[in-house]
Structure 1
Amino acid sequence: MLGVFFVIYSFQSATPEERQILWRNIKQANPLWIGLSLIFGVFSHLSRAYRWKYLLQPLGYKVKLSNSFMAVMAGYLANLGIPRSGEVLRGATVASYENIPFQKVFGTIISERVADLIMLLLVIMLALFFQYDLLFFFFNEYNINPILSLTALIFLIFIGIYTLKLIKGSKSNKLAKLRNFLNGILEGVTSIFRIKNTAAFLIHTVFIWVMYIAMFWIIKFAVPGTENLSFSYILIAFIVGSFAISLTNGGIGVFPIAIGAILIFFEVPQQDGEAFGWLVWGSQTLLNVVLGSLSLLFLPLLNKIK
Structure 2
Amino acid sequence: MNKKIKKTVFLILPIALGVFLIWYSLSKLSPSDVESIKTSFKTANYWWVLVSLIFGILSHLSRAYRWQFLLEPLGYKPRFANSIMAVLIAYLLNLFIPRSGEFARAASVKKYENIPFEKAFGTIVAERVADVIILLLIIGVAFFFQTELISSYIFKEDQSSSIYYKIVVFVVLPLVGFFIYRFLKKSKNPFIIKVISFVNGLIDGAKSIFTMKKKWEFIFHTIFIWVMYVLMFYAVTFALPETTNLPFAAIIVGFVVGGLSMALTNGGLGTYPLLVAGALVLYKVEHNPALAFGWIMWTAQTIMVILFGSLSLILIPIYNKYLEK
**Is contact 1:75-1:87 (8 Å) kept?**
yes
Counterparts in 2 of 1:214 and 1:99: CA distance versus 1, 3 Å: same
The amino acid across from 1:69 in the alignment is: I
Aligned residues: 278
2:304 partner amino acid: L
SS in 1 for 2:283: coil
Which runs of 5 or more structure 1 residues have no equivalent in the other structure?
A: 165-185
Change (3 A) 1:27 1:67: same
- 254, 274, 281: which one pairs with 1:264? 281
Q: Distance in 1 between matches of 2:117 and 2:210?
A: 20
Q: CA deviation at 1:273?
A: 0.7
Given the alignment, which residue of 100, 106, 118 partners 2:121?
106
Instruction: Find the counterpart in structure 2 of residue 179 from structure 1.
Output: none
TM-score (norm 2): 0.79
Q: 1:255·1:281 contact (CA, 8 Å) conserved in 2? A: yes
Q: Give the structure 2 partner of residue 199 of structure 1.
A: 216
State how far apart, in whole Å, the 2-side matches of 1:189 and 1:121 are: 13
Q: Output the aligned Cα RMSD.
A: 2.6
In structure 2, relative to structure 1, the CA distance for the partners of 1:26 and 1:118 (3 Å cut) is same
Q: Give me the TM-score of the superposition, normalised by structure 1.
A: 0.84
Q: Does 1:35 align with 2:73?
A: no
Shift of 1:262: 1.4
Match of 1:175 in 2: none
Counterpart of 1:280 in structure 2 is 297
SS of the residue corresponding to residue 303 of structure 1 reads helix
Aligned to 2:82: 67
**1:169-248 residue pairs with structure 2 within 5 A?**
192=209, 194-248=211-265
Alignment identity in percent? 47
Letter in 1 for 2:198: G
Q: 1:51 aligns with which of 66, 69, 72?
A: 66
Q: Retained in 1: the 8 A contact 2:129–2:206? A: no
Instruction: Give how far 1:42 is off.
Output: 0.2
Deviation, structure 1 residue 162: 5.2
CA distance in 2, matches of 1:157, 1:103: 21
Does the residue aligned with 2:243 lie in a helix, a strand or coil? Answer: coil
- Asked whether the 8 Å contact 2:61–2:84 carries over to 1, the reply is yes
Select 1:116's aligned residue among 122, 127, 131. Answer: 131
1:2-40, CA deviations, whole angstroms, 9 ceiling, x for partnerless residues? 211111111111111111111210121101100100000
What residue number does 1:160 align with? Answer: 198
Cα distance in 1 for partners of 2:207, 2:82 equals 22
SS at match of 2:242: coil
Task: Give, in angstroms, the shift of residue 195 of structure 1.
Answer: 2.4
- What amino acid sits opposite 2:236 in the alignment? I
Code of the residue aligned with 1:210 in structure 2: it is: V
Whole-angstrom distance in 2 between the partners of 1:47 and 1:231: 24
Cα 1:129/1:162, change in 2 over 3 Å: closer
For residues 198-242 of structure 1, the C-alpha deviation after alignment (integer angstroms, 9 at most, x for no partner) is 111111000000000000011111012111110111111111111
What runs of 5+ residues in structure 2 fail to find an aligned partner?
1-15, 157-168, 182-193
Instruction: Tell me, in whole angstroms, the C-alpha distance in 1 between the residues paired with 2:106 and 2:18.
Output: 26
